[in-house]
Structure formats: C-alpha cells, structure tokens
Amino acid sequence: MSHNDYDYTFKFILIGDTCTGKTTIANSYIKLEKNIIINSPTLGIDFATRIIPLAIGKRIKLICWDTAGQEKYRSIISNYYKDICGVLLVYDITNRRSFNNLEYWLSEIIKHNICKDHKHPILLIGNKQDLENKRRVDYQEGLTFATSHGLFFVETNALNPTSLDNVMQSFLTNIYHLALTTSKCRGIKKNCSNTNTNSIELELDDSKDKKKDCCSFG
C-alpha cells in the first residue's frame, strides 16, 4: 500500500486530564502498538497517525496531537487547537475529578476554535472500562453528559480499544459530510497526489479560496 493511498487528512487533538490514558489510546488505537502501558504523563505534545478506511469508500489519514493534561503545559497546548477538525476528549471512569473537569476542556475547545462557521465534532471517551470494580463515574452519567453537549460517546479499555471501531466510523464519516456542507475547514486536507481520487468529486475547499498548495497541511 502506498503512503499516498488515502483521500483526506483529518487533524485531531486528544485532550483531557493527566493520567486518563490518552497516550495509551494514541498508541494502541492510532499507532496500533498493542500492550504498551504508559506509566508517566506526556511531556508537552506528541502525535500519532493512522489511515482508516471508511464504509463510505473514503480512506482517512488521521493525524492526532496527543497533549499533556498537566496545567503547566496548557499554554503550549493552546496552539494545537488551531487547524483541527475533530476532538477526542478523554476522562477516566475511575477518577471522578477527570469527569468533573470536562466542562473546562469543552471551554478550551470553544475558546480556541477558529472554524467560525461550525463547532468541532467531539468524541467523549470514558477510559479504563476494564477497571469496573474501581468505577466512580457511571456509564449513564457519561452518556447524559455527552448527549446534553452534543458529543459522540463511548467507553473503552485503552489497551484493547475495539469498542472505538464503530464509533470512530460514525465520527469520521460525520466530519467528512460536515466538511462537504460548510466552508473550508483548515483541519481537513484533500490528498491531491492520490490518483484514485475522483477529479469531479465535490471539493472540500471553498471555491472562492482555491490555493495552488491544496495538498499542504496545516
């Protein structure tokens, strides 16, 4: 498979409190590196990438910024909210404080959103589903919070995140269709070098703002 064998690049940010398992999700679901347990918090910013085929026939190259949850890094992280098209927001079902802090993270997304014509779609992930005996946040609480804020929702075990597969299909497809019906989103780029892309397909770029570097990212 060619490294150019994808149709669009979607740029995400992975956020939430420290020690909620964000990096383990990035490693196991996006990088496909299995059984890697992360015991220390991320320092600043890391990234992960994966090509995900959608049921609608598109192949999406997902680039995801994995951010540190510690307060001392938040001024640095603020720069990475720019030019994204989606958000993975993580809390720990065994840590009530990480759930209570979701309102803060939502406010950060709103504050730094530069796509003025639409809100960034958000997938809320309740992590550490395997630690049921230590649960401090009920499934229904997470679902109710997501529903009230218009978020996608799933609970998962970061070391075996198969529950993410179906919801990510819906999530990425939603972003694809959203981009087709709104103005240009800087977190989405069409892969102009992919010869399999139909040249007459509806472009995601605003027709009034065509650029020669349509394949550039960021």
As a 3-state breakdown, the chain gives helix, strand, coil percent values, each rounded to 5, of 35, 20, 45
Question: What integer pLDDT is reported at residue 170 of this predicted model?
Answer: 96
Arithmetic mean of pLDDT over the chain: 82
Question: What integer pLDDT is reported at residue 204 of this predicted model?
Answer: 45
Beta bridge mates, 64: 12, 48
48-92: per-residue pLDDT in tens? 999 999 999 999 999 999 886 555 556 667 777 888 999 999 999
- pTM for the full model? 0.83
| Residue 129 near residue 158, CB atoms below 8 Å | no
d(CA 182, CA 204): 8
Question: What integer pLDDT is reported at residue 116 of this predicted model?
Answer: 66
Helix (H) or strand (E) holding 175: helix 164-181
Question: What integer pLDDT is reported at residue 113 of this predicted model?
Answer: 79
d(CA 18, CA 6): 32
Between vectors from CA 38 to CA 37 and to CA 43, what angle results, nearest 5°? 165
Q: What percent of the chain has pLDDT over 70?
A: 76
Question: What integer pLDDT is reported at residue 74 of this predicted model?
Answer: 60
Question: Which domains does the chain show, CATH number per domain?
Answer: 8-209 (3.40.50.300)
82-122: per-residue pLDDT in tens? 889 999 999 999 999 999 999 999 998 888 876 766 688 99
Alpha-helical (H) ranges within 44-163 are 74-77, 96-100, 102-112, 139-149
12-60: per-residue pLDDT in tens? 999 999 899 999 999 999 999 876 555 555 545 788 999 999 999 999 9
Helix (H/G/I), strand (E/B), else coil: 139: helix
